[in-house]
Structure 1
């Protein structure tokens, strides 16, 4: 693999921080054939980490598309084809030249390239005080965490775990735009993800004096632990999930019923009591019509629509039901929207809402699921579960089982990009049309990648490259 730089110029140099209330970033471009020189200061290390966050918030990654992929192919939402969004994803008709497969692939590897520059920096040689060097190590830990998350996202989209194959994804561990690297196996990819997460945790913990969990727009140790729990749920390593969530438990609060909708809004960005990690957007770097809100909203493209079966899961007094609106088509069909008028999870039509990466409710649901597995504590699962539902207008229960947790994940996390990945890790592929080959559960490796001269990267079966 040539780190995608034959196609996308990685904006490097120094990722400058614009002096504004939204802490936006601007990238300076340079030629893809140039090897980046060593970083020289704490400020440069911080800038590259913030540049990685900027890459993550793009519309081709967490700003829209990656989140939508988890919903388009699921049993809770669908793409109605309006304005042409996600048609090839929804219908399993992607080719190796598909823009969704190509652009998300490029964007994730661009983010990883920025983290690799930070990871490859010899912190001991930076200019600055001893405290500066220690803080740079902390940010290096963040870079390991972001790289792990990028590899995990790539593995879920392009790896063959759910298709019966053995290949994972390319896992570049240093910045080298001229390198050619083959795909790792699934086992090797998972091992690298775990190694990166563990390195991140040990590094950030060793420099925990620089950890500021009150700053929700930078990855904290708590946020890292929840991301790790997300990965270990995918792996089925429930003991690790239990440990990680127990270390975060009670540090945050389930958002109260009346604050449920505002907790997603721009006006409460970073201030909601259930927020653990957000990608900062703001007005200066608004995603505008390229935002996730636009494909969800009846006031936008209203492309992603919840199924009636999702809407009907909610009790009448559940605050979450009141945030879903519906319109009736001429043929009597009802379309259910997560954003319409003054209701919905995503109301800011300018696309300026922060992107909610880690919410406390997800942490509790991860923990509850793990506690109901062999070796867990059902009483803890019940405590986690009740702390959510009592804040949604529902009565507490005296017992909980895995089926209840699965339904609650669907209700609490509707539209947030989790559903397809939950179904796949539970072994449920019923959302896939029977006539569609299991090979197509994995996205195609972009033709731009497999066409590079001398590349060892091989395509996924079922596609045209």
Structure 2
């Protein structure tokens, strides 16, 4: 690994502007902006870096927009109308990316930026007893420090998982994973690990996150703009579903359901829930945006909505739109021109990264892979019961199979960045589409272009140990 990646984790990144940019839940920013990287001796300093992780995740190249839209551009639900939508995602859609592509370098930089900030928290050794303005009790202070460290471990795990999905060779005919920095060192040069080694680190980090966070308090679920214990388990259920460890998914989902802290959003509030900051009953983890940090033309809403609110670059495939029954409330968020205009209608909406509905769908799929069909049906119908336009409910399913769960997953999660990765993990082919959505080249698992190019700024550094992914021009 090299300086390009890790330099973004320096404390200098956390300027006053950056610290103020994570919505109203940010801590005071009076200190420290000029402090060089070194021991963090207060809870306030640790909180700054944890909030800084979320700032990196919110960037338009990462969860703020592009990473999610990339997952839809190559899906079987949506396509990029790049001919009429300002050219967004053309190289992704046409599989013509090079090492200099912004849709590769942008996510890569921000994912490693989040990891760099997490590493500073994870490895912090204060010069003495930590202090905190909110308490003088050493036990309370240490508990807060541990909780923050748990969030850092969870952030590192998620960012490594996202890096593995984008840049690992698992579905592109190779075994190479990604660089795994576990300490903050802007001068370090480090080679890419294997897919297996990357997975082992992700799993260890998720486990550490839960260990440091401890038992959830009764009100922890009300703070949706930071990763809590339920958020860790939800993200773990996502990860283990992609790995195919269905027993693990079943256990994690059962824990979240049993907590009774979350519920499926009613049909009447399906679209509106995406514009509710830190309050929707189905939101397990969301990234704060808000009017102060409005993402404007770089936002998800700009890519989904048509003028005057956006470019309408991302369109729903008509054949997929036709799979909704007339009474499905989710069909109502797709316009007659096939624009998904009922999710993220504002450029300042919080990014709902983990919803309870996803957890239920994870559980239903896992139960059908070695678990209980009855429980799978129960999870499935919990969503159906709140997706009807007229009565609020769709008719409950009486039988269930994997194809039915896959179809429901598409209908529920369209526009939220799951499509491409779901096809890959299930070993299904990817259909390349033109600017009008027409089918083109079919790419099967093992195709070198099913991964993304390692950025030129990384592989061209003298002495770098990072190898490129084959199949991409420099």
Equivalent in 355, 360, 363 of residue 359 of structure 1: 355
Once the two structures are superposed, residues 310-342 of structure 1 have per-residue CA deviations (whole angstroms, 9 ceiling, x without a partner) of 211110010011111023xxxxxxxx1011xxx
Q: Which residue of 1 aligns with 2:204?
A: 195
C-alpha separation in 1, matches of 2:78 and 2:31: 38
Quickly say closer, same or farther: Cα 1:235–1:248, change in 2 above 3 A. same
| 1:273 positional shift | 1.0
Alignment check: 8 A CA contact 2:321 2:331 kept: yes
Alignment check: 8 A CA contact 1:9 1:30 kept: no
Alignment check: 8 A CA contact 1:3 1:109 kept: no
2:74 maps to 1:64? no
Structure 1: gaps of 5 or more residues: 328-335
2:98 maps to 1:98? no
| 1:84 positional shift | 1.1
Alignment check: 8 A CA contact 1:364 1:385 kept: yes
Q: Which residue of 2 aligns with 1:418?
A: 418
Quickly say closer, same or farther: Cα 1:106–1:14, change in 2 above 3 A. closer
SS of the equivalent of 2:336 reads strand
Equivalent in 154, 168, 184 of residue 159 of structure 1: 168
Quickly say closer, same or farther: Cα 1:305–1:19, change in 2 above 3 A. closer
Alignment check: 8 A CA contact 2:80 2:90 kept: yes
2:249 maps to 1:241? yes
Quickly say closer, same or farther: Cα 1:21–1:224, change in 2 above 3 A. closer
C-alpha separation in 1, matches of 2:219 and 2:189: 36
Equivalent in 314, 317, 321 of residue 307 of structure 1: 317
Alignment check: 8 A CA contact 1:138 1:210 kept: no
Alignment check: 8 A CA contact 1:24 1:281 kept: no
Alignment check: 8 A CA contact 1:3 1:113 kept: no
Equivalent in 371, 374, 382 of residue 379 of structure 1: 374
| 1:354 positional shift | 0.2
Alignment check: 8 A CA contact 1:45 1:118 kept: yes
Alignment check: 8 A CA contact 1:135 1:210 kept: no
2:214 maps to 1:205? yes
Equivalent in 85, 92, 116 of residue 113 of structure 1: 116
Quickly say closer, same or farther: Cα 1:199–1:210, change in 2 above 3 A. farther
| 1:139 positional shift | 0.5
Q: Which residue of 2 aligns with 1:320?
A: 330
Alignment check: 8 A CA contact 1:15 1:48 kept: no
Structure 2: gaps of 5 or more residues: 132-136, 389-393, 433-440
| 1:18 positional shift | 3.5
SS of the equivalent of 1:422 reads helix
| 1:122 positional shift | 2.4
2:158 maps to 1:149? yes
| 1:453 positional shift | 1.2
SS of the equivalent of 1:358 reads strand
Query: RMSD of the TM alignment (CA)?
Result: 2.3
Larger CA deviation: 44-53 vs 11-20: 11-20
Quickly say closer, same or farther: Cα 1:178–1:262, change in 2 above 3 A. same
Alignment check: 8 A CA contact 2:63 2:351 kept: yes
Equivalent in 209, 212, 216 of residue 224 of structure 2: 216
SS of the equivalent of 1:213 reads helix
SS of the equivalent of 2:315 reads strand
TM-score computed with the length of structure 1 as normaliser: 0.91
Quickly say closer, same or farther: Cα 1:192–1:6, change in 2 above 3 A. closer
| 1:212 positional shift | 1.5
Quickly say closer, same or farther: Cα 1:110–1:93, change in 2 above 3 A. same
Q: Which residue of 2 aligns with 1:402?
A: 402
Quickly say closer, same or farther: Cα 1:41–1:29, change in 2 above 3 A. closer
2:290 maps to 1:282? yes
C-alpha separation in 1, matches of 2:11 and 2:36: 12
How many residue pairs get aligned? The number is: 445
C-alpha separation in 2, matches of 1:126 and 1:15: 26
